Structure 1
Amino acid sequence: MSETKKADATEAAVKVPHQGSAPEERDVLLKVQGLTKHFPIKKGILQRQVAAVKAVDGIDFEVRRGETLGVVGESGCGKSTMGRVITRLQDPTGGTIEFEGQDITRLSTAGMRPLRRDIQMIFQDPYGSLNPRHTIGSIVSAPFRLQGVEPEGGVKKEVQRLLELVGLSPEHFNRYPHEFSGGQRQRIGIARALALKPKLVVADEPVSALDVSIQAQVVNLMDDLQSELGLTYVIIAHDLSVVRHVSDRIAVMYLGKIVELADRTSLYEAPMHPYTKALMSAVPVPDPKRRGAKSERILLKGDVPSPISPPSGCRFHTRCWKATEICRTTEPPLLELKPGQQVACHHPENAEDQAPQDTVLLSAAKEAVELVSVGETPKTPATTADDAVAEKAVEKAIAAETAEKAVAEKTVEKAVAEKTVEKAVAAETVEEAVVTETAAESADPAEPAEADTVEEPAAVEDSVVEEPAAVEDPAAESAEAESGRQESTDK
């Protein structure tokens, strides 16, 4: 690093308070009031507007110099749209955006060009944000060409320095994006965003597309760069653990609105808004010592309402377990109920009730949430009925299975009995046969045997056959005598 750059870094470190300093001691860098962004829905041949998607619908916040503001919320709540609007990549529908005291809400493209050096953005998709036809050197050096800036020592030397700053090799200057992994591409995007030494960097889900180990590297890199260059971050994310690690203050968004804004310690230890409490209950605690400890997880029932026609009053009342009639009719303002902690709720948690006279819960509030016990926590009334039904179903299934088993056992016993009877009958038949055979063998030998009886007819047959042979002559003689008599008669 040259002496001039060292002096610039030292001057920035002097001007910018350390991240750990109190927020009220810092100058306001970005101020947003009543910011709205509606996307029109048009139909028909004439393309008339029939409705609008209210992605961002009136939000107020400030970002102080040198701090990190985290923005969390469910998918579709308007986080990314808000980031694109405050960087003026998209024009706002209403409200004001002030950067260093200057109103940039209605500036044209030419008017925003000088401010592009001070406001940069890190995009969510590291694969879609880099042009695959350009080399890494061409991508990172694009801000210099567009702003007409000639860095000291030349563009190539400055780009190689930036690549080395984000943990890449200077030899990657002539390579293409497809030769890098997701984490390396995100580092290239960070190098491009830091090329012109911006004052404000809006990071839209900077680590959501990366592996866990790479996430830690990129987050630590951004933290080191903030300390070294005095950057101000607006980090949009849905990973609560990442937001807690890098943020000084956190804004919770729900359906285009900021429902709570507080420093990270107050927000995580004592959340005020019911939606924030539900979010914090879903954060897993990776502590082996707390395994089996009593804890409670809140499961919100139903889906997020459509941003085309958001609910009246408090937009969270359709899923809130504390919703009353005032929540349905009156929109709560964002008020500071504790020092440094703002919340938009009529019945906040860990704070005084703002509408104590309204105590009748809505019918939807009684079924809006389900409490799930983790560890040894006893069952809550919300889940007792469901558990009882489940237990009855299990008992019924066990009873049916037991009956089937009993029927099957009886069938088997019947079959065994029938088989036993058949075996007994067969055994009796065999015994009778054996007895008969034994009786035949033990009979008296003096009795006439079948063989002798058979032999006697043979002798008789011989005698019968022989006797007719002796009688043949008298018969012949009588026949001849009769024939002689007939002849004499004829004569």
Structure 2
Amino acid sequence: MTSEDKGVDVPAQRSAGSGAEVKDAASREVLLKVTGLQKHFPLKKGMLQRSAGAVKAVDGIDFEVHSGETLGVVGESGCGKSTMGRLITRLLEPTAGKIEFEGRDITHLGVGAMRPMRRDMQMIFQDPYSSLNPRHTIGTIVGAPFKLQGVTPEGGVKKEVQRLLEVVGLNPEHYNRYPHEFSGGQRQRIGIARALALNPRLVVADEPVSALDVSIQAQVVNLLDDLQTELGLTYVIIAHDLSVVRHVSDRIAVMYLGKIVELADRESLYKAPMHPYTKALLSAVPIPDPKRRSAKSERILLKGDVPSPISPPSGCRFHTRCWKATEICKTQEPPLVALKTGHQVACHHPENAPDQAPGETVTAAAREAIEIVKVQKPEADEVRKPEAEETAADDGATSSDTPEDSPKE
């Protein structure tokens, strides 16, 4: 069954992130809208389980996802990316805020009311080893959505499950095998097949390749890209690997300590990042370009650890590790505003943009917040030089030991 048979609008293949592409994305239907979303996990202590604060995993975020696009979400471990993914799929109950899917408020829908919505909203989990029930066969796992939704596909469940396995690059004859008989990459493909069973409109992928070998990561990423083109899917992809996010995303959101600090299309974000935290993240990405072997680059090392989400810093949450922090950063939280078309940032002193709080003096602590490391790869000739010298030395030693070159008595 092709995508035309299912009545799915197939979007055009994404280009390299031009301005026309951004304009086209903005004109699409808003599939998901999130406003002021929060999730606080309460902390209890003592025999009476008294409240001792809360972990502010997600603390007020706003964004939109348009139909047919891919939104990438990046940030350090513990910044709230995975929690945000579970909130928008309603696997977790939000503390505050609003989630709208296809114009309908789903923020506090119960299990029964959410069940019909599950057909259009699915999730690919991070760990392919723990997300599949080891007691069930692959056929039972991939066919579970049909049973739960009371859907009988044309030709029967078994035939449809085998078709899905073939779509994700697995052998349909492995229908009766168990998860332990598959590798990590194959298990992730099984999870993708399960997520696609009901033809969802939105797929949230929580680090879909982080548990896989590098050789398998490219295959899974290309599979997700091909399926989006074929089926007209909309993705929210959560990842650590900035190169993976750049390859698959139309727009990218950067999270830090429960907040979105920058949101832009991929070309704008990678060429001219505005938030200092984004600049620090991108400085750690290696550039696999032989032509730039001798080019100097700067690696920004952020000193100290990420503050605790139980008691986040006042004002801008990044000011404790930022080299541009001023007094206003300590007291006033910067709003997420658009400083240019399609590029939003929450910073008083953004990079590559006019200063939003001119005249402020950088604090003494900010001057010691980072360490700049100069990185320079040696030239190819320099790499071979020690080897050449060693060869010459060996040749010299060999020639001096020959009878012809030895001194005559």
Q: TM-score scaled to structure 1, two decimals?
A: 0.74
**Which one of the candidate residues 66, 91, 94 is aligned to 1:92?**
94
Kindly report which structure 2 residues correspond to 1:468-487, keeping only aligned pairs within 5 A, or say none.
none
Query: Contact (CA 8 Å) 2:3, 2:230: kept in 1 or not?
Result: no
**Which one of the candidate residues 317, 320, 328 is aligned to 1:318?**
320
Q: In 2, distance between residues paired with 1:98 and 1:61?
A: 11
Query: Contact (CA 8 Å) 1:298, 1:372: kept in 2 or not?
Result: yes
Alignment match, 1:367: 368
Kindly report which structure 2 residues correspond to 1:336-351, keeping only aligned pairs within 5 A, or say none.
336-351=338-353
1:382-425 deviation digits (Å, cap 9, x = unpaired):
xxxxxxxxxxxxxxxxxxxxxxxxxxxxxxxxxxxxxxxxxxxx
Where 2:9 maps in the other structure, the secondary structure is: helix
Cα pair distance change 1:329/1:79, threshold 3 Å: same
More helix by share: 1
Offset at residue 281 of structure 1 (A):
0.5
**Which one of the candidate residues 286, 289, 292 is aligned to 1:290?**
292
Alignment match, 1:223: 225
Q: In 2, distance between residues paired with 1:344 and 1:297?
A: 23
Q: In 1, distance between residues paired with 2:77 and 2:260?
A: 14
Kindly report which structure 2 residues correspond to 1:68-467, keeping only aligned pairs within 5 A, or say none.
68-358=70-360, 360-375=361-376
Query: Contact (CA 8 Å) 1:38, 1:52: kept in 2 or not?
Result: yes
Alignment match, 1:459: none
Where 1:137 maps in the other structure, the secondary structure is: helix
Query: Contact (CA 8 Å) 1:53, 1:307: kept in 2 or not?
Result: yes
AA of the residue aligned to 2:371: E
Where 1:364 maps in the other structure, the secondary structure is: helix
AA of the residue aligned to 1:164: E
Where 2:245 maps in the other structure, the secondary structure is: helix
1:323-359 deviation digits (Å, cap 9, x = unpaired):
000000000000000110000000000000000021x
Q: In 1, distance between residues paired with 2:357 and 2:274?
A: 15
Query: Contact (CA 8 Å) 1:262, 1:342: kept in 2 or not?
Result: yes
Alignment match, 1:406: none
Alignment match, 2:383: none
1:197-218 deviation digits (Å, cap 9, x = unpaired):
0000000000000011100000
List 4+ stretches of structure 1 deviating above 3 A. 5-9, 16-21
Offset at residue 47 of structure 1 (A):
1.2
Offset at residue 8 of structure 1 (A):
3.2
AA of the residue aligned to 1:170: P
Query: Contact (CA 8 Å) 2:168, 2:193: kept in 1 or not?
Result: yes
Is there any run of 5+ residues in structure 1 with no aligned partner, and where? 378-491
Q: In 2, distance between residues paired with 1:207 and 1:104?
A: 29
> How big is the alpha-carbon RMSD for the aligned residues of Structure 1 and Structure 2?
1.2
Which structure is larger by alpha-carbon Rg, 1 or 2?
A: 1
Query: Contact (CA 8 Å) 2:79, 2:256: kept in 1 or not?
Result: yes
Query: Contact (CA 8 Å) 1:292, 1:374: kept in 2 or not?
Result: no
Query: Contact (CA 8 Å) 1:17, 1:26: kept in 2 or not?
Result: no
Q: In 2, distance between residues paired with 1:366 and 1:219?
A: 40
Offset at residue 17 of structure 1 (A):
5.9
Is there any run of 5+ residues in structure 2 with no aligned partner, and where? 16-20, 379-409
- Relative CO higher for 1 or 2, CA cutoff 8 Å, sep ≥ 6? 2
Q: In 2, distance between residues paired with 1:375 and 1:17?
A: 40
Alignment match, 2:402: none
Cα pair distance change 1:277/1:159, threshold 3 Å: same
**Residue 7 (1) aligns with residue 8 (2):** no
Q: In 2, distance between residues paired with 1:298 and 1:102?
A: 43
1:140-190 deviation digits (Å, cap 9, x = unpaired):
000000000000000000000000000001111000000000000000000
Q: In 2, distance between residues paired with 1:222 and 1:323?
A: 40
Where 2:8 maps in the other structure, the secondary structure is: helix
Offset at residue 92 of structure 1 (A):
0.4
Where 1:111 maps in the other structure, the secondary structure is: helix
Where 1:141 maps in the other structure, the secondary structure is: helix
Offset at residue 374 of structure 1 (A):
1.1
AA of the residue aligned to 2:36: G
Over the matched positions of the two proteins, sequence identity in percent amounts to 79
Which segment is superposed worse, 147-156 or 43-52?
43-52
Alignment match, 2:406: none
1:282-321 deviation digits (Å, cap 9, x = unpaired):
0000111111212111100000000000000000000000
1:412-440 deviation digits (Å, cap 9, x = unpaired):
xxxxxxxxxxxxxxxxxxxxxxxxxxxxx
Offset at residue 55 of structure 1 (A):
0.2
How many equivalent residue pairs? 371
1:203-251 deviation digits (Å, cap 9, x = unpaired):
0000000011100000000000000000000000010000000000000
AA of the residue aligned to 2:220: V
Query: Contact (CA 8 Å) 2:89, 2:121: kept in 1 or not?
Result: yes
